[in-house]
């Protein structure tokens, strides 16, 4: 390993981000104890016993520390023989293909009005199933970890941001914040001054982005046609300095409420018997069926899909909410309370998914930034309890790998084919 590579490994951004998420959960736990009110998605639900807040917070922190601080580094040590695929040679083909897919996906969801945040609009067309199987968001996340240095990365990033904003999603910005800070930290170029400037920039931009996201979600829920440029003009022309300040406070509060897991795990703990009853009665999907493979099995067998843990939790939180489709985060530890007899199987399943993704990274000779990307996916999906999202990411890893095999085979054949009527060197 080169000196530069060794230094990059030592300058890890993971501890900083892990500390940030732990800090957010601790702050929210203090607020919950002080106000006797839950926060975020569970706001408005009754806190039965304030005495459970502290042990639940410890469980949340332990999950962060063990899964990301212990298990993930250990899994990354497994030995896997790399493939003969050269990502430098596949760069252009992969980048252009992903850009084309993103453009096609934008065309599809703008025409059909599907895939919007909270939207209940669905399409049963073959193209809709195609976009479920080929998740451009997950593919871009993986692409970010492998091809950040590509000259064609920036067009893909720009179209990914536009795609997410048009659907009312803003989560891509935390992915960007993590990946870019990881690059700077590992390169030794991160400082308090740069962090302050990035924070100020985010503070100035986020209220406008937050307003745009809310407007998109409102228009999606009403079925109105989205004119993105007109919406941007309206948002920026009507926002006053006082509005900016109010939106900034709302945005920061939303970040804390959205990223903390204490409130949701308290609700899961308080209603563990309810969820266990759903599970035993065959009214809730077991964890190993959550995700794209489970939906495929249900469709093939003709069985009506069961609700997953996140949707059942959302129904418990707000049972009368039927005009939007949403799922709350049951947290990584949620299954330990609902189905403790499955704990060992649950851990084996989750660690297996993580290992599968790591094996593909190793097969494709991924750099440290590919491992950072997967680490952040574990932080974003697994710790929130969004198993279906992580399964989709693993599925996208398979698609990503297979496409590389195809491009590598195609480029190898081209390099061996005669040009201008002459055989390549070594052939006659």
Per-residue pLDDT tens for 303-361? 888 999 999 999 888 876 655 556 889 999 999 999 999 999 999 999 999 999 999 99
| pLDDT category of residue 423 using cuts at 50, 70 and 90 | very low
Q: At what angle do helices 136-147 and 153-166 cross, to 10 degrees?
A: 150
Average pLDDT over residues 413-422: 48
Instruction: Provide Rg for the chain, Cα atoms.
Output: 23
Per-residue pLDDT tens for 65-77? 999 999 999 999 9
Share of the chain above pLDDT 70, in %: 78
Please give the Cα distance from 30 to 251 (Å, whole number): 20
Return mean pLDDT, the chain.
Answer: 84
pLDDT score, position 138:
97
Per-residue pLDDT tens for 112-162? 777 665 555 556 677 888 998 999 999 999 999 999 999 999 999 999 999
Give Cα separations from 336 to 60, 269, 339 (angstroms): 12, 10, 6
Please give the Cα distance from 204 to 223 (Å, whole number): 30
pLDDT score, position 78:
95
Among the listed residues 12, 46, 17, the one whose alpha carbon sits nearest the alpha carbon of residue 32 = 46
Per-residue pLDDT tens for 197-253? 776 666 666 666 666 666 666 555 555 555 555 655 655 566 666 666 676 777 778
Per-residue pLDDT tens for 258-313? 899 999 999 999 999 999 999 999 999 999 999 999 988 988 898 888 999 999 99
| pLDDT category of residue 60 using cuts at 50, 70 and 90 | very high
Paired with 422 in beta bridges are: 419
- Torsion, Cα 273 275 276 281, to 10 degrees, reads 120
| pLDDT category of residue 421 using cuts at 50, 70 and 90 | very low
Buried-exposed string 152-173: b where 16+ CB fall within 10 A, e elsewhere:
bbeebbebbbebbbbbbbbebb
Statement: residue 182 has pLDDT above 50? yes
Please give the Cα distance from 280 to 269 (Å, whole number): 17
Among the listed residues 220, 396, 210, the one whose alpha carbon sits nearest the alpha carbon of residue 291 = 396
Both tokens of 29, joined, read: 């736990």
Give Cα separations from 332 to 32, 226, 290, 323 (angstroms): 20, 36, 14, 27
Residue 125 gets which letter from DSSP? S
Please give the Cα distance from 334 to 276 (Å, whole number): 11
pLDDT score, position 299:
86
In sign, the C-alpha dihedral spanning 136, 139, 141, 145 is negative
Q: Is 81 helix (H, G, I), strand (E, B) or coil?
A: coil
């Amino acid at each position: 390993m080169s000196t530069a590579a060794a230094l990059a490994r030592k300058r890890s951004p993971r501890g900083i981000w892990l500390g940030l998420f732990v800090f957010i959960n601790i702050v929210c736990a203090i607020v919950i104890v002080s106000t006797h009110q839950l926060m975020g998605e569970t706001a408005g639900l009754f806190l039965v016993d304030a005495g459970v807040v502290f042990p639940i917070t410890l469980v949340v922190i332990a999950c962060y520390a063990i899964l990301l601080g212990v298990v993930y580094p250990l899994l990354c040590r497994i030995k896997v023989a790399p493939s003969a695929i050269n990502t430098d040679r596949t760069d252009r083909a992969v980048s252009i293909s992903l850009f084309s897919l993103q453009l096609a996906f934008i065309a599809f969801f703008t025409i059909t009005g599907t895939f919007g945040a909270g939207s209940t609009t669905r399409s049963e067309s073959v193209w809709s199933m195609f976009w479920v199987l080929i998740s451009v968001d997950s593919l871009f996340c993986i692409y970010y970890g492998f091809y950040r240095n590509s000259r064609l990365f920036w067009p893909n990033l720009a179209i990914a941001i536009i795609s997410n904003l048009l659907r009312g999603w803003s989560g891509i910005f935390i992915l960007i914040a993590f990946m870019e800070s990881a690059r700077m930290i590992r390169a030794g170029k991160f400082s308090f001054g740069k962090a302050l400037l990035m924070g100020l920039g985010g503070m100035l931009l986020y209220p406008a982005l937050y307003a745009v996201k809310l407007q998109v979600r409102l228009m999606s829920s009403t079925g109105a046609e989205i004119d993105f440029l007109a919406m941007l003009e309206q948002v920026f022309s009507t926002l006053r300095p006082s509005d900016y300040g109010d939106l900034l406070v709302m945005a920061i509060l939303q970040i804390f409420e959205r990223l903390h897991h204490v409130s949701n795990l308290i609700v899961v703990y308080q209603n563990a018997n309810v969820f266990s009853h759903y599970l035993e009665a065959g009214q809730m999907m077991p964890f190993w069926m959550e995700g794209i493979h489970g939906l495929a099995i249900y469709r093939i067998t003709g069985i009506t899909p069961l609700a997953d843990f996140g949707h059942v939790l959302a129904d418990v939180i707000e049972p009368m909410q039927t005009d939007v489709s949403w799922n709350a985060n049951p947290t990584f530890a949620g299954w330990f309370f609902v189905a403790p007899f499955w704990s060992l199987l649950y851990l084996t399943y989750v660690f297996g998914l993580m290992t599968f993704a790591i094996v593909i990274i190793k097969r494709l000779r991924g750099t440290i930034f590919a491992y950072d990307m997967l680490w952040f996916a574990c932080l974003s999906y697994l710790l929130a309890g969004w198993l279906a999202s992580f399964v989709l990411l693993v599925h996208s890893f398979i698609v990503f790998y297979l496409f590389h095999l195809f491009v590598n085979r195609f480029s190898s054949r081209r390099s061996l084919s005669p040009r201008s009527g002459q055989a390549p060197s070594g052939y006659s």
